[in-house]
Structure 1
């Protein structure tokens, strides 16, 4: 019986495949706009183009990614259990750190500071959740600037036990994937076909970035897409 944790590219194989297919689909959708223009006679004053592939992608991309993620989870139930256990432990560590910070600062998240229009401060669990989102965003920024610096940051973030590498990478993968979906939704509303095609290609870059992060293991060599 296999008990070791799978490599991330295997653990997230269906998601990686779905993201890769979206990269190609985005390129094809952009080509549906550019191809008629390229094939039209130079004397043509107006060219009919097909925006439907972009619209279709915008409507289905998120669902395709959600389905792939669910399929991966079903394929690796023991890995999911380990990930949940690790995430719960790191979440408790972040909550404890947040509570300590609140005590040191003398702030009470249960009550506003009394000023008109104020709201209660975030609770320790809310701060813990925000911390993970911030760590994922910091990793994306670091990887974009220098992939090796990104891995260094990942090791630093996990050293305290407040984060696991997997949950930070998963959050960063999700952020890049959502960014691609949002760009496609913007392209769907873009009445300029060429502008919509450019946005489809921008979405493809986000999906390709998500593939690199989803495949990234701390102890392995950087994937080619992340090396730059």
Structure 2
């Protein structure tokens, strides 16, 4: 749910925007010595510490922002939890019915057990969020239509689908930043740091989406 009022920005959105700026600043700090070096200088000493610092603090920054979100709008949090319980129960019912239908079928591929009802219900929400994120990259209007389509059956709520889509985009960005910490050279570290920006920008767009 969009937890903000007119003239204010939700802490999580603010943190995401801060992270976008931090990635750009870190990349600039690494490249600055190269830009300032005299023409013809073959070797330039650079420091990838700014990229590493962004990588190390990104997840904590977002976690704190979400905690601040929850503390600022407790009534909304309570409503979202109640709504999530209802939709989760709906997905469990569907998964249970499917399990009953497939009871006589063989186990999963290579003998891997099929997911439990609870696992299937959780996985369905993750899949819905990932699908919306992927669709948004191609066409935001199609993604909004998909959110409404998924929510129409009552097994998902509009807000929880968007929240899951935001998480999907954020995770990809955080993974890119994590890779920057172990990059073999400064250029790769900078590329990974900047590579996280489109994913975090996508998360901002999803978090701010108007579904009306």
TM-score, scaled to structure 1: 0.86
Preserved CA contact (<8 Å) 2:90 2:154: yes
Quick one: which of 163, 166, 169 aligns to 1:173? 166
SS at match of 1:130: helix
* Equivalent residue pairs, number: 209
Match of 1:136 in 2: 129
Task: Point out where structure 1 has 5 or more consecutive residues left out of the alignment.
Answer: 1-6, 220-228
Q: How far apart are 1:9 and its partner, in Å? A: 5.5
Alpha-carbon spacing, 1:132–1:39, altered in 2? closer, same or farther (3 Å): same
- RMSD (Å), alpha carbons: 1.9
SS at match of 2:47: coil
Quick one: which of 183, 188, 200 aligns to 1:195? 188
Q: How far apart are 1:196 and its partner, in Å? A: 0.9
Task: Point out where structure 2 has 5 or more consecutive residues left out of the alignment.
Answer: none
Q: How far apart are 1:118 and its partner, in Å? A: 2.3
SS at match of 1:196: helix
Quick one: which of 65, 82, 89 aligns to 2:62? 65
Alpha-carbon spacing, 1:118–1:180, altered in 2? closer, same or farther (3 Å): same
| 1:100 maps onto 2:93 in alignment | no
Alpha-carbon spacing, 1:25–1:114, altered in 2? closer, same or farther (3 Å): closer
SS at match of 1:10: coil
Q: How far apart are 1:166 and its partner, in Å? A: 0.7
Q: How far apart are 1:195 and its partner, in Å? A: 1.3
Q: Is the deviation greater in 11-20 or in 86-95?
A: 11-20
Q: How does 1:1-228 map to 2 (within 5 A)?
A: 8=2, 10=4, 13-107=10-104, 113=107, 118-219=111-212
Looking at structure 2, the residues matched to 107 and 29 of structure 1 have their Cα atoms a distance apart, in angstroms, of 56
